[in-house]
Structure 1
Amino acid sequence: MTIKAGDTIPDAKLMQATVEGPKEVTTTDLFKGKTVVLFGVPGAFTPTCSAKHLPGFVTQAEALKAKGVDVIACMSVNDAFVMGAWAKDQGISDQVVMLADGSATFTKALGLELDLTARGLGMRCQRFALVAKDGAVTHVAVEAPGAFEVSKAEAVLAAL
């Protein structure tokens, strides 16, 4: 079942890409006492993700923070080294927390997995964005296949 407004963020462990290397982070630590925008992408270095989705949240980071967002996090079913390389490639510093869900455990717990094995990509994450306040989901937007409308930074800003 797909996560929806009113649900609580499931407990999970993710790997955060940092300049010092991968660091384990729990969803409890990430979301507790904070307003968090979490957006998920099908893959690091993929066309829409690299050209529009991630850059949009970097560009809108200050506007999101001005609306009370404490943390902006990007998640993908990749490993933390790939997420770190993608952050470096995109010039990400501290505007966006880069999270790896390498085995799609958290993605599956959210009900947002996307099976792309027929295309040689394995299990991935659907393109989505959600807002959670102290671990309680207040907004979820999941894209239709191939779309990029409801999960972009401007749409999240409008939902806040």
Structure 2
Amino acid sequence: MKLLVTSLWFFSCELLYVEAEVDESGHFSALGPVNGDPNDRFYFMQWAYLEAISVPEAWGILDSIAERTPVTIAVIDDGIETTHPDLKGTVIKGYNVVDKNDDTSPRGPHGTGMAGIIGAIRNNKIGMAGILDSVRILPIFDGEVPSFPALEDAFTYLINGTKDH
């Protein structure tokens, strides 16, 4: 149970309680999600939050659209683990506004977690279910301890376009 609680804390610092059962094989099953929900390993930890903002309904609409153009979303944070299996193929080359280079490797887990909420691959039986599945994530590293000047540089970089870097 300690591992489960540790994993839950990583995804949400607002954890109030866990309601789960252990089946005969030793796997946890949360009391909440129903059949038809994503098969991602930790979906049971996020389903209530996603339900609260109608994400499953949005998935239904998006899944009915045959051809979609991926959107690019910038994540201004402490870096993103570009090799994370739940983000495979979604993270594009980013920018480090502190060192003025393209090293956006994570200095902490927050940026990768935020990128996962946005665009983790859904229905791959690992990790979590991202809100969008047709997305490119642009990591912008703004420092281990973000500052207003770094944030200003990040927005300036995004406004001026990524062509200059």
> TM-score band (shorter)?
under 0.3
RCO higher in structure (CA 8 A, sep ≥6) = 1
Q: Which has the larger radius of gyration?
A: 2
Structure showing the higher strand proportion among its residues: 1
| TM superposition score normalised by structure 2 | 0.24
